[in-house]
Amino acid sequence: MVEMDVLVSLCKRRGFIYQSSEIYGGINGFWDFGPVGCELKRRIKDSWWKRMVQTRDDVVGIDTSIVAHPQTWIASGHVASFNDPMVDCKACKRRFRADDVPASEDGSTGHICPECGGELTEAREFNLMFQTHVGATADNASVAYLRPETCQSIFTQFKNVQMSGRMKVPFGIAQIGKAFRNEITPRNFIFRSREFEQMEMEFFCHPSESDKWYEYWISYRFEWFKNIGVKPEGLRLRPHEHRELAHYAKGCTDVEYKMPFGWSEMEGIANRSDYDLGNHMRESGKDLTYFDEGRKEKFLPYVVETSVGVDRTALAVLCDAYREEEVKGEKRVVMGFHPSVAPVQVGVLPLSGKLAEPAKKLEIDVRRHFVSEYDDAGSIGKRYRRHDEIGTPFCVTYDFESENDHAVTVRDRDTMAQDRIAIEKVVEYLRDKFAFSK
């Protein structure tokens, strides 16, 4: 499995991910996605949206504001208890999550700084929400928060979506968007950061059917990871033990991926009962119950939630795709992305700058069908190496012979086999190749 520093360096070199504000020394817990990385993220999000919303008739999407009415976060419990216990080192002033500090020999929480051996303060609760002020006055009345999860606005807009969309329970509401948490110790590259994206779906159903839907969504979501090419041996489901469950949760199962730093949570699927709608109904005083015409029954729907991080998924996809091979005594690095998430599906490369015109014409044709890129920078060997490292499944090379035989060479990223294909058949050839790898 790839070592993290190797992956981090490839990500920077090839334009996947850079440290945020790098020229100012970076800012801990924040990352920027470069041209190749943002395409990878976009394709992951597109795949999720397609699978969760566009190909289903029982889930609709929304896109809500990042800053919501502050009462939202009182109702959800975040103001009171979205906390991590934190300790500070009195000597070096570093800050740690109390549960990250190794226990003392007697089994209690450690009192010695893991960095410098200095004395630690007692643990204090630290609220992870970022605060801001709305409007010109910065007082208690204007405090607002950057959302720490995208789902709360799904709950507060439940009634609007249900009524305006004439939705019948059971149905789901999905959202992709940024979330912010002032993590005490952001770490492991983009795995735990302070600004990240979530893809969440809340499925509203009758309480008596929530167990059934919970099981359904666990397997549906697990399949999605395989569909985007994550190897099954790196994936597992981990049902939460009873003591890990929030008091309102009837069940929770994580999808975990075997990262270079161990099995790690990618996604949580939870039966959240009527906890969220109940809280918002109480706090707002608005009726959020649903009248079921079929059952002739009014009830507060239960919610089965699926919640996955875009950045964590991208990290799993990156780790999973990385491989090194030896070719003719030289190391070849390949990102073996599944075509459904590859940032570039087809590279079109003229062998020489003199062939730019016909090669560009071909690329315009290819672009109508695939995510493609025209690339004429550097020697052909260097360009192949770059496309291997950004995970382009196929490269089409237009050479001098192409002028005579009206054919091009198509190189397969994984086998490095090269086929000579008539230009007019290239799109069809690639379409067959991609269909085969679906």
**Footprint of ligand GAP on this chain (CB under 6 A)?**
149, 151, 181, 183, 192-193, 196, 198, 200, 265-268, 307-309, 311-312
When the beta carbons of 198 and 271 are compared against ligand GAP, the nearer one is 198
Q: Which residue number places its CB atom closest to ligand GAP? A: 309
How far apart CA 414 and CA 435 sit, in angstroms, is 16
For residue 114, say if its preceding peptide bond is cis, omega within 30 degrees of 0.
no
To ligand GAP, the closest distance from the beta carbon of 270 in angstroms equals 7
Q: Which is nearer to ligand GAP, 161 or 423 (CB)?
A: 161
Give the nearest distance from C-beta 316 to ligand GAP in angstroms. 10
Q: Which residue has the tokens 């490095």?
A: 416
Q: Are 126 and 145 in contact (CB under 8 A)?
A: no
268 or 393, CB closer to ligand GAP? 268
b (16+ CB within 10 A) / e for 168-190 = ebbbbbbbbbebbbbbbebebbb
Judged by beta carbon, residue 252 or residue 349, the one nearer ligand GAP is: 252
Class of residue 21 by CB neighbours under 10 A (exposed 0-12, middle 13-18, buried 19+): exposed
End-to-end CA distance of the chain: 24
Question: Least distance in Å: CB of 194 to ligand GAP?
Answer: 7
Tokens 């969760």 locate to 52
Nearest distance in Å: CB 182, ligand GAP: 10
Nearer CB in complex with ligand GAP: 146/151 = 151
DSSP labels, 123-188: PEEEE-PPEEE-SS--SGGGEEEB-S-STHHHHHTHHHHHHHTT--SSEEEEEEEEEE---SS-BT
- CA torsion sign for 411, 415, 417, 421 is negative
State the minimum distance, in angstroms, from the CB of residue 29 to ligand GAP: 8
- Beta carbon of residue 281, minimum distance to ligand GAP (angstroms, whole number): 18
Whose Cβ is closer to ligand GAP: residue 130's or residue 429's?
130
Smallest gap from residue 177 Cβ to ligand GAP (A): 12
Could you tell me which residues come within 8 angstroms of residue 230 by beta carbon, excluding any fewer than 6 positions away? 257, 316, 317, 320
Nearer to ligand GAP, 193 or 402 (CB): 193
Task: Rank residues 272 and 387 by Cβ distance to ligand GAP and give the closer one.
Answer: 272
Q: Which is nearer to ligand GAP, 157 or 409 (CB)?
A: 157
CB nearer ligand GAP, residue 236 or residue 431: 236
Whose CA is closest to 402, among 347, 356, 345, 346?
A: 356
Residue 231 CB, nearest approach to ligand GAP (Å): 19
Spatial distance between the Cα atoms of 13 and 10, rounded to a whole number of angstroms: 5
Min CB(126)–ligand GAP separation in Å = 14
**What amino acid occupies position 211?**
D
H/E element, 19: strand 17-19
| Closest distance to ligand GAP from the beta carbon of 233 (Å) | 20
Nearest to 92 by CA among 119, 124, 111, 123: 119
Rounded-to-integer distance, Cα 340 and Cα 354, Å: 33
